[in-house]
Amino acid sequence: MAIKQLKIQHLRNITEADVQFSDGINFISGRNGSGKSTLLEAIYMLGRGRSYRTTKFGPVVQQGEKTVSLFAISSLDRLYRIGLQKTATTTEVKVNGSSINRLSDIARITPLQILTPLSHEILERGPEYRRRFMEWGVFHVEHYYFELLKKYLKALRQRNFLLRSDPTTVPSWNKIVGELGESLNAIRESYFVELKSAFQAEINALCLPNNISLGWRRGWDDDKSLETVLVEKQPVDIKQGFTHVGPHRADLRIVYDGRSAFTGISRGQQKMIISALHLAQARLTQDKTGNKPIILFDDLVAELDRENRDILLNRINDFGCQAFVTSTDPLGSRGFSDELHLGIDQGIVNRAN
């Protein structure tokens, strides 16, 4: 997928913009607060239906306005006209004039990989952040995964409810939760094997130490079925009122020299590792679906020295997919085919080359 044209109305400090993009790397430079991250936010909203910067509408809409309007012309096997209108209470998305009722449908059309200054959270915070990363990857390559996940979470909620309200009925739900959880984990583990291989390839391509690796914890004992462990843990679960084991407790582990990758290494090294993880997922999505993800990289140069910056940019260019890279200072011509340089100041976008 590549975005050919983007129109924005009343998004943060951008009153109105109409921008043409390259199919290659689009470099966007501007001072802090100029609106460069807002361009990435607009693309993200068209692909996910929401902002990556806030869950609230107030900071997104321009002061004095009530509606954010976005429109893009994108190309895959054909042209797609994607429109989004967002208010404080509604989100309306249309593709080629037809309303989209499920945001997952638009996410399939426009797969995204986004790296921001907050991407370190995948290393530093809890397993739920890493599970979320895994789930988006699996979602794009296994189309029935999302429905299976919803069924599992519904059954899990029911078991948790019964643990607190009617423990005598819990045994019948051990089997249901167990079967759904095993099916869910089988898909995740199959994806993980391929992600691990792709990640190692990106570690090598980015000239990172080869003692960086991925690990997977499925959320219960490896040598037992989930149903068996649910039965074993049932007394504890009843006592505490929630389910302690299952895919909802899984974790994607990023290991450097035998320990967690967020301890004992620099922020720049962390950024390169996280970039390798996202590029690996982008590669899997492209190989499995034929749809090239769009890469959004907010403030790429922060925390990276010149050598690592150049290595990362060269690798992104090697992917041959569309990318958007922001920085406070212009990065200058890289000699890439189809590269485009844009400048933005006070919400006004201008072409710099």
**With helix as H, strand as E and coil as C, how does 44-65 read?**
HHHHHCCCCCCCCCCCCECCCC
- Asked whether 12 and 35 are in contact (CB, 8 A), the reply is yes
CA nearest neighbour of 16 among 350, 342, 351, 348: 348
| Residues 6+ positions from 69 with CB-CB distance below 8 Å | 7, 8, 9, 10, 83, 84, 85
Distance from the Cα of residue 313 to its chain's centroid:
19
What pLDDT band is residue 262 in, cutting at 50, 70 and 90?
Answer: low
Distance CA 183, CA 293 (A): 27
The whole-number average pLDDT for the span 267-295 is 95
* pLDDT per position as a tens digit, 317-351: 999 999 999 999 888 888 898 899 999 999 999 98
CA nearest neighbour of 192 among 145, 155, 230: 145
For the chain, the 3-state helix, strand and coil shares in percent, each to the nearest 5, are 45, 25, 35
* pLDDT per position as a tens digit, 192-201: 999 999 999 9
pLDDT for 312 equals 96
Class (C level, CATH) for 1-111+295-352: alpha beta
pLDDT for 282 equals 96
Distance from the Cα of residue 314 to its chain's centroid:
21
pLDDT for 353 equals 65
pLDDT for 43 equals 97
The whole-number average pLDDT for the span 262-279 is 89
Q: Which residues are annotated as a binding site for ATP?
A: 30-37
For the chain, the structural domain boundaries read: 1-111+295-352, 114-290
Distance from the Cα of residue 6 to its chain's centroid:
21
* pLDDT per position as a tens digit, 106-139: 998 899 999 999 998 898 888 999 999 999 999 9
Distance from the Cα of residue 120 to its chain's centroid:
13
Distance CA 253, CA 259 (A): 10
pLDDT for 261 equals 65
CATH architecture of 114-290: Up-down Bundle (1.20)
* Angle, helices 306-319/170-205, rounded to nearest 10 degrees: 110
Distance CA 295, CA 240 (A): 43
Q: Which residues are annotated as a binding site?
A: 30-37
The whole-number average pLDDT for the span 14-19 is 97
| Percent of the chain's residues with pLDDT above 70 | 99
Helix ranges, the chain (H): 36-48, 103-109, 121-124, 127-141, 145-165, 170-205, 226-240, 267-289, 306-319
pLDDT for 92 equals 96
The whole-number average pLDDT for the span 251-259 is 87
Distance CA 281, CA 161 (A): 35
What pLDDT band is residue 184 in, cutting at 50, 70 and 90?
Answer: very high
* pLDDT per position as a tens digit, 223-245: 999 999 999 999 999 999 999 99
The residue written with tokens 């910067």 in the block is: 53
